[in-house]
Structure 1
Amino acid sequence: MAAKQKNGSGMISTGIAAQNRKGRFNYTILETLEAGLVLKGPEVKSLRMGRATITEAYAAERDGELWLFNSYIPEYQGGVLSRFEPRAPRKLLLHGKQIDRLLGESARNGVTLVPLDIHFNSRGLAKLTLGIGEGRKKADKRHAIAERDWQRDKARLMRNKGRED
């Protein structure tokens, strides 16, 4: 993933603006895809400041289109007069075939559309990484924690072994 790069005004020009770390823990992500976001100017400026959160956000269908619900983008405080609702639903931009496939999979297979991160691509456009995931059970979460701890311990052992030689 791209690192945060700040331009002269302290804003993020490319990289991750908001991340849902719990998304990969609570769900087994089967597939990811990138969707565009319909945003207003002050929302983009606020995203570039890196103050948004999507930990409680979810993607769902409304009127045959995909929308991002419950994402929080705070108001930009840079002297802009236009106000917007911080938790307003935001439309996701996908091709019609992609929307049909995602809605069909969620209806048939019971998968969930999990927002994983909001980032800016190389052209400076805000994009949402959307994961198609299945919910994990408590035992699966414990297994993931044990696996993560083992990987950390293994890396520590290998690092210490290299110092002894």
Structure 2
Amino acid sequence: MGEAVARNKKAFHDYEILEKLEAGIVLQGSEVKAIRQGRVNLKDSFVKIIKGEAFLLNAHISHLSTANLNFAPNERAPRKLLLHVKQLRKWDMKVAKDGLTIVPLAIYFNAKNLAKVEIALARGKNEHDKRESLKEKDAQREAQTAMKNHAYKE
């Protein structure tokens, strides 16, 4: 995976990530330049499989002020994701059977300079699990700080 242009930090807080996958994304006009400039927000976005095709819904890609004003794509338009049919069917069955969700984790450019979306099969966390993961994160941060401070004293 290349350097992420945008990350969905909320997904790691709200969901337990089970599987990850890289998907291509169909973009229009100036959207690629907008993504390069980091003008993308994945906060409340999700992936839905409609008629055997995956779509990224509710992702916000701002249009550029330098782009043609006559062609301004809808900033929250559904964007098609490019996946292998076999993988699509497998994940579609898991979503239908187990009540899982597909969420985007990041948008980045790969080595061939193509825009890619890292998507994940996820299970929603309940409030208790969210608090537990926050406690674990705090404990880990405190332990690292203590180790760092201890190393400086010696």
Amino acid at match of 2:30: P
**Counterpart in 2 of 1:130?**
119
Amino acid at match of 2:119: L
Identity of aligned residues (%): 39
> Does 57-66 or 28-37 show the bigger shift?
57-66
Amino acid at match of 1:130: I
1:94 matched to 2:83: yes
1:24 matched to 2:44: no
Amino acid at match of 2:128: A
**How far off is 1:65 after superposition?**
0.6
1:101-154 deviations in Å (ceiling 9; x for gaps): 010000011110011111111111100000111000111111100000001000
**Counterpart in 2 of 1:45?**
33
Equivalent of 2:61 in 73, 93, 103? 73
Runs of 4+ displaced beyond 6 Å: none
1:54 matched to 2:42: yes
Return the alpha-carbon distance in structure 2 between the equivalents of residues 98 and 62 of structure 1.
14
Return the alpha-carbon distance in structure 2 between the equivalents of residues 17 and 68 of structure 1.
16
TM-score, length basis structure 1: 0.89
TM-score, length basis structure 2: 0.95
**Counterpart in 1 of 2:103?**
114
Q: Secondary structure of 2:44's match?
A: coil
1:164 matched to 2:153: yes
Amino acid at match of 2:37: M
Structure 1: which 5+ runs fail to align?
Answer: 3-14
**How far off is 1:79 after superposition?**
3.6
Equivalent of 2:52 in 59, 64, 75? 64
**How far off is 1:163 after superposition?**
1.3
Structure 2: which 5+ runs fail to align?
Answer: none
Q: CA separation of 1:148/1:52 partners in 2, compared to 1, >3 Å: closer, same or farther?
A: same
Q: CA RMSD in A?
A: 1.1
Return the alpha-carbon distance in structure 1 between the equivalents of residues 50 and 144 of structure 2.
46
Which fold has the larger relative contact order, with Cα–Cα distance below 8 Å and residues 6 or more apart in sequence? Answer: 2
Q: CA separation of 1:79/1:69 partners in 2, compared to 1, >3 Å: closer, same or farther?
A: closer
CA contact (8 A) 2:30 2:67 kept: no
